Chains A and B, each alone.
Chain A
Amino acid sequence: MQGDPIACLWLIPALPLAAAAVGAVTPRRGRAVAAGAAIAGLLASLVFSIAALVIALRTPSAHLSHNFAWFDLGQDQVRLGWLLDPLTAFMAVMVSLVGTLIFIFSIGYMKEDGNFTRFFCFLSLFAAAMLGLVVSNSLLLLFVCWELVGLASYLLIGFWFEKPEAAAAAKKAFITTRIGDLGFLLGVVWLYNSAGTLLLYDGGHGLFEGGQLGFLGTHFVRSPFPGLALSLSAAISLLLFCGAIGKSGQFPLHVWLPDAMEGPTPVSALIHAATMVAAGVFLVARVYPLMSIDQLFAAPGGGSALHALSVVAFIGAITALLGAVIAVAQNDIKRVLAFSTISQLGYMMLALGVGSWVAAIFHLLTHAFFKALLFLGAGSVIASTHHEQDIRRLGGLAPRLRATFATFAVGMMALSGVPFLFSGFWSKEAILHAANAWSVSRFPLYAGLAGVVLTAFYMTRLICEVFFGSPRSEPAAHAHENPAVMTVPLTLLALGSIGLGFLGTPAWPWLQSKLSGTPIESRSLLEGGGLLMLSIFLVAIGLGSGWALYWRRTRTDADAPDPIEKRMPRLFAFLAARLKIDELYAATFGRMVSGLASLSVALDRRVWGGCVDFVAGLGNFAGLINREADESGLNAGFDSAGESLRATGRAYSTRQTGETHGYLKAVAIAFAVLAILAIAGGGQ
């Protein structure tokens, strides 16, 4: 369905892009201009996004699109377009709202930084790319915005590029996500080749319309997995999922996320908690019809088929567990939150894999709020303690940073899943319910439940070490609350963390029904009772053990070992070293790449260089021969010819007497002879 409002959907990403352009040309003094443009741009996008949400909610099951031709490619046209459905609208509102609050926070956080204007320019660029990704109807446009988001992430992680760790982290992030993006691109190309279009909804000709999906689901390709059939749609979905693995920090490409904490904290809040890392989840949700179609058709010959969503579920489950386990042993406040993000993203992928993309998006939305809140809270702590990030050196900040503490506590409780009041509880419940209903395996459910315990545990550890006890360093002792420009966004995000949950309770599944487009009947809380009780119980265990270990006996000394470290030092060290996955990659892939590089250098120098030298030697030799031939052969020849000519000439010239009369005599005699010959021989 075409409509004028949909055609204006491009304004949502365009306004922050214009703000980025303004920020790019603003001089360093123009701080107010840069920040004002960024916030104004994103606020305008928020207004438009809310308007779009209102339109989308009128017809929740419709996918309104507006497509146009970008350029002609021979016979085909490359078409792009905008899409408006509840998923798009919710995402757009979330990105612009959380983004605006983070922008406002950044005014206070980056106050003392000299590159203020550059920061807001990059932030606006990121917002534009993310919003463009969300409203895109074409996988090609989505991929372009995907890469732009990656670029903005690189620029922002490496914002303090003079720090070598920051530059290295930015490079690592970009390269790791690039590996995933390669799979994504291959998937897009294969999809275009198979289906002929990259538009999702195109008035009947889109990918998700007509019989396209059916064709992709029933067509089988040669499977690299022995014994498992692979349909075309599953193969393409797995390739697209590669991009999500990279972008959303799933195992095995999660290694860049903790390092990305080198960037400024607002960047971590916006990009690596709320929005960019959620792009992978959004992508899977967006192409969900493609990913799930192969489950409707049986494999040929009655064998078993590899379903893409099963892979998603298992990877999500592994990631959820992995992130939570490592977070227990981290000592940097931002790194705890980074691994927590990895774990929560694993939950979202888990939800997608077990069949409930609605639960995943619900968790994405709530996670955006409370994780951004937690990161901004951490930022507030960092700003007030002059960039002290080690939690062993903090402590006792609760009375000193009251507003930060209160909002951080709200976020912590939302993340831990403290029941009923906080949004994280409801969204995690939805995921666990969906995992429980999955028929393929119980592993995601168990991983999720284990993650619930661990999440509560490490968040309690974090809040106790940072805010409770007594200050363990000078900066902590002298910390004071930040100005309103930083605490007001915290408050607003806290309100969102609480309020958003009520949109998706089983008793009133408003969000789920709007997202999925079909009305979902409400259930009483007691119906899914068993699982609900179990998860509340697990949260209690986690909170309790954390309280026991970290609150009752708060850390007194910064260098004292962690209670777990005391009892299980080797395990703790292993977890603190992030399961040594980075070292594993360095030892295997890193060494392989270096080896290949050295091999290339050696080849280049010895083999190709040797060939070139050989040819050069041949050329030299040829030149030498040429010169020799020229000098002894040609030159000598010509010289001798010239010499002989001259000698002949000299010999002839001795004949000359120089006497005119001699010459005349000769002429006369010749004339006479000729005349006689003429007369005697021929004429009369």
Chain B
Amino acid sequence: MNLTLLLLGLVILASSAMALSLRNIVRSVLLLVLSWFGIAAFYLWAGAEFAAFAQALVYGGAVSMVVLFAVLLTGRSHSDAEVPPPPKGRLVWALVAGGAAAGIIAATAIRTPFAAATNGVPSLPVRDLGLLLMGPQLAALLVTGALLTAALLGAVVIAAGTKDDKEGAP
């Protein structure tokens, strides 16, 4: 079991690290997609099938498409796909910050004596999930629906722009 975890973790971390350090933005996006699928696999391994499917569909399907569209729409020529690497100073700062955050979280995780899981794989049939969503969590569901609608409309409005923006439109 731990082996699977190690493998998955490696895939996720490696792909995300590479994705965010490459110069070619399209390749970055594709590696990121791989990372997201890795996370989905992790969910599967952990026994949250539904969450895994959701992750795969939403991130791997929708969000990646959106990102790709954004990339393609904001690059005038092939050369723009090349993003220069960050300047040295900033890179160091970023790495320090990231490392600090990761370190703090990891240290805290290791230090805390967690009790071992007493039960086995918690079973969550989809039916029960559905009942939960439609029952106690109905309000959250509706709010999220509204949020998604608003976000969609807002994104369309922002992205479409006005007539005056036409000359800059890609």
Which A residues form the contact surface with B (CB < 8 A)?
A: 661, 665, 668-669, 671-672, 675-676, 679, 684
Contact = CB atoms under 8 A, between A and B. Distances in A.
A668 B104 contact: no
A671 B101 contact: yes
Interface string B70-102: 000000000000000000001001000100110
Contact of B97 (A672, A676, A679, A684): A672
B111 interface: yes
A675 B97 contact: no
B108 interface: yes
A665 B112 contact: no
B93 A672 contact: no
Given A665-B97, A672-B97, A672-B101, 11 more contacts: A665-B93, A668-B97, A668-B101, A669-B97, A672-B104, A675-B101, A675-B104, A675-B105, A676-B104, A684-B111, A684-B112
Nearest to B105: A675
A684 B108 CA distance: 7
20 contacts: A661-B90, A665-B93, A665-B97, A668-B97, A668-B101, A669-B97, A671-B101, A672-B97, A672-B100, A672-B101, A672-B104, A675-B101, A675-B104, A675-B105, A675-B108, A676-B104, A679-B104, A679-B108, A684-B111, A684-B112
A679 B103 CA distance: 13
Contacts of A668: 97, 101
A268 B108 CA distance: 127
A602 B73 CA distance: 92
Contacts of B93: 665
Contacts of A665: 93, 97
Contacts of A671: 101
Nearest to A672: B100
A5 to B, nearest CB: 93
Contacts of B104: 672, 675-676, 679
A684 B109 CA distance: 9
A671 B104 CA distance: 11
Contacts of B101: 668, 671-672, 675
A240 B111 CA distance: 120
Interface in B103-144: 104-105, 108, 111-112
Contacts of A675: 101, 104-105, 108
A665 B101 CA distance: 12
Contacts of A661: 90
A684 B104 CA distance: 12
Nearest to A675: B104
Contacts of A679: 104, 108
B100 to A, nearest CB: 5
A675 B106 CA distance: 12
A683 to B, nearest CB: 9
B89 to A, nearest CB: 11
A679 to B, nearest CB: 6
Contacts of A676: 104
Interface in B47-69: none
Nearest to A661: B90
A672 B101 CA distance: 6
B87 to A, nearest CB: 11
Contacts of B111: 684
Of the listed residues B90, B104, B105, B111, the one surrounded by the most CB atoms of chain A closer than 10 A to its CB is B104
- List the 6 closest pairs (A to B, CB-CB), nearest first: A668-B97, A675-B104, A672-B100, A684-B112, A679-B108, A672-B101
Nearest to B111: A684
Contacts of A672: 97, 100-101, 104
B115 to A, nearest CB: 13
A675 B93 CA distance: 18
A582 B108 CA distance: 123
B47 to A, nearest CB: 28
Nearest to B86: A661
A342 B38 CA distance: 134
B161 to A, nearest CB: 21
Contacts of B97: 665, 668-669, 672
Contacts of A669: 97
Nearest to B97: A668
Nearest to B112: A684
A669 B104 CA distance: 12
